[in-house]
Chains A and B, each alone.
Chain A
Amino acid sequence: MSRIKVELHENQVIALKDICKSFENNPHELINVLHKTQEMFGYLPAEIQEIIAIEMNVSVAKVYGVVTFYSFFTMVPRGEHPISICMGTACYVRGADNVLDEFKKELKVEVGETTSDGKFSLNCLRCVGACGLAPVVLVGDKTYGRVSPEGVKEILAEYLS
């Protein structure tokens, strides 16, 4: 994975410390701290993990271990419009893999990558629990149901104008 160097502003560091403090710097609350932090910063680069480790009084290795264990946490910034394709069984049976291929072709990125203009990032997720609408695609918070490979261009067009 390419390593991005991140410079944190002083007020960002303060915000980060406040998050840790709001959970009483309790190591048992590490996952909640990471959720809050990702909500605020969008992702969890190494520099942020280092500060959290110091604040929570645990090793950086432990924070890194937890961040990389859970698929919800990411160390790379997501695109302006994160695209998630559901790869749950119901979606798979209804052809989600073809939809994914079409997104890869259109955006020229692989899963887990962000387009060079930073507009879209592509990810797979496991079942959003909307199996009745399979195959399901999420762009940001918006859900698209019964998506076909032919419909991919149309979805992307909504975000390109």
Chain B
Amino acid sequence: MQLRVALRNCGFIDPESIDDAIARDAYAALAKVLVELKPAEAIEILKESGLRGRGGGGFPTGLKWEIASKNEADQKYVVCNADEGDPGAFMDRSILEGDPHTVLEAMAINGYCIGASKGLIYIRAEYPLAIERLKIAIRQAREYGLLGKDIFGSGFDFDIELRYGAGAFVCGEETALIHSMEGERGEPTFKPPFPAESGFLGKPTNVNNVESYANIPVIYLKGADWFHSIGTGKSKGTKVFALAGKINNVGLIEVPMGTTLREVIFEIGGGIIDGKKFKAVQTGGPSGGCLTEKHLDIPIDYDNLIESGSMMGSGGMIVMDEDDCMVSMAKFYLDFTVEESCGKCSPCRIGNKRLYEMLDTITKGKGSLEDLDRLRNLCEVVKDTSLCGLGQTSPNPILSTMDNFHEEYIAHLSDKRCPSGQCKDLMNYVIDPENCVGCTACGRVCPVGAITGEKKEIHSIDTAICIKCGACEEKCKFNAISVK
């Protein structure tokens, strides 16, 4: 069921050995492109393959290259976006650590096609091993003449440098990334102009994601038709997902586009931990949404996921079971967005903060039903008016949970109840009179003296005093204390 394209070499080669990589066809595609093809012909092949950006947006890669190739300039740049910031996603790290040469090779092809002699890899400082392996790979490629002057005697020069991120999620947005590489605060700017026109240091710049690059050498070796034959209507090839959360088999998977969520979660992922009930799967990270039972049989591709209220994103896939509260989940993502919003535009800076506060109120049982309309309204405003992709997608976790788990919001708002028992403020510890033997153990361990009762008589908890620390439940040997 799995098919390795982007991950084809990961685990099969010593990532610190260029000879290993070459034995598995590294740089063969670069040789073919440089010797046999003109830039325009090479771009045409990429367009025919149907490859779309794997960073999340899904923009056709060949078209991106074509636009960058047509802008005239004395210097152009090729940038690899390795600022993998989606929590729960680690496919780019695995590619960089397991097969760094494929990224270098694809960037060189990219440089040849658009007429750029310089490449930059913008990588998170949090990935020290990936940085180390890239440094080794770049050094080896230079020694072998696969980077540098006159590669394969074609007259084409290309070299690659590393640039480091410093922990800012918004830098995954291409204009913010470019500002960060220029030594500035990583704040996005309005597009147009697109980087293809005016990017790094004001020069035409083509930015692609690590996984997109990892697909490119194979396309040139096996042909556009081969790649085009994998996948669905408008989504070709495979996608790497990072499967995590309450699932038995966690880790990276690579499947052809069009595989269903059910196959991914229950066959490859081995189902839910402890035999619990599947509740939702979050795709697309903080920009995506929660999909449910009813979406399990939809073939995964860019367009289907958007239609279902989520998105492909970079490929994080977090599985949740019956114990996870969907309002808390939305709040978790908004907390992330509030923290990571760069603060440049007010809809994102203030709007997301307000959205977070509204969700916080709901999880504390202080919301009212009117909050639902207010919440939805503000979500729409933030989506419509934010400057960059971060704010334009940040309300998605709220909107998708409101659509798919409406009854859970209602339970929090009108019944002041959290059906999953995750919202601490909405739960109470109670003593079951059937099981309580009056041992007084709970009363003695309670830090606030909320438990009363004589020895050998049934105890009770004063919910007004209780701070819900759970110490009594832990202490009780008779299973008499539970959360309601």
Contacts and interface: CB of A to CB of B under 8 A. Distances in A.
Interface of A: 26-32, 34-35, 65-66, 69-73, 87-90, 92-94, 125-132, 134
Contacts of B333: 89
Contact of B168 (A27, A34, A71): A71
Interface in B205-245: 242, 244-245
Nearest to B164: A35
A30 B87 CA distance: 27
Given A31-B183, A93-B245, A131 B166 contact: no
B164 A32 contact: yes
Contacts of B342: 69
Contacts of B164: 31-32, 35
A54 to B, nearest CB: 16
B246 interface: yes
B185 A69 contact: yes
A90 B182 contact: no
B273 to A, nearest CB: 9
B88 A89 contact: yes
Contacts, number: 106
A49 to B, nearest CB: 14
A126 B336 contact: yes
B432 interface: no
Contacts of A34: 166
B186 A70 contact: yes
Nearest to A88: B87
A137 to B, nearest CB: 15
Nearest to A39: B125
A35 B201 CA distance: 21
Nearest to A28: B183
B164 to A, nearest CB: 6
B346 to A, nearest CB: 18
Contacts of A129: 84, 89-90, 93, 126-127
Interface stretch (B65-73, B316-324, B359-367, B398-406): B316-324
Contact of A89 (B168, B244, B340): B244
Nearest to B183: A30
A70 B339 CA distance: 11
B60 interface: no
B87 A126 contact: yes
Nearest to B91: A129
Rank and list the top 5 A-B pairs by shortest CB-CB distance, nearest first: A129-B90, A70-B166, A88-B87, A90-B244, A30-B183
Given A35-B164, A71-B168, A72-B166, A90 B185 contact: no
Contact of B125 (A66, A72, A94, A134): A72
Contact of B285 (A26, A69, A71, A89): A89
B89 A127 contact: yes
Nearest to A56: B183
Interface string B320-352: 100010000000110010001010000000000
A93 B316 contact: no
A28 B182 contact: yes
26 contacts: A26-B183, A29-B183, A32-B163, A32-B164, A35-B166, A65-B185, A70-B168, A70-B186, A71-B167, A72-B167, A89-B316, A90-B88, A90-B244, A92-B332, A93-B318, A93-B324, A126-B85, A126-B87, A126-B169, A126-B340, A127-B87, A129-B89, A129-B93, A129-B126, A131-B88, A131-B242
Contacts of B184: 30, 66
Max count, chain B CB within 10 A of own CB: residue among A35, A65, A66, A89: A89
A73 B167 CA distance: 8
A126 B88 CA distance: 9
Nearest to A65: B185
B182 A131 contact: no
Given A35-B125, A89-B332, A125-B126, A131 B244 contact: yes
A29 B183 CA distance: 5
Contacts of A31: 163-164, 166, 180, 183
B168 A69 contact: yes
B13 to A, nearest CB: 20
A87 B85 CA distance: 12
Most buried by A among B87, B163, B182, B336: B87
B462 to A, nearest CB: 23
Interface in B86-115: 86-90, 93
Contacts of B9: none
Nearest to B282: A89
A87 B244 contact: no
Contacts of A87: 87
B28 interface: no
Contacts of A125: 126, 167
B166 A73 contact: yes
Contacts of A89: 87-88, 244-245, 282, 285, 316, 318, 332-333
Contacts of A88: 87-88
B246 A70 contact: no
Contacts of B166: 31, 34-35, 70-73
B3 interface: no
Interface string B128-154: 000000000000000000000000000
B167 A132 contact: no
A92 B85 CA distance: 16
A128 B167 CA distance: 11
Nearest to A93: B245
B268 interface: no
Nearest to B321: A93
A11 B405 CA distance: 61
Given A89-B282, A129-B127, 14 more contacts: A27-B183, A66-B184, A71-B167, A71-B168, A72-B125, A73-B166, A89-B318, A92-B332, A125-B126, A125-B167, A126-B336, A127-B88, A129-B84, A131-B88
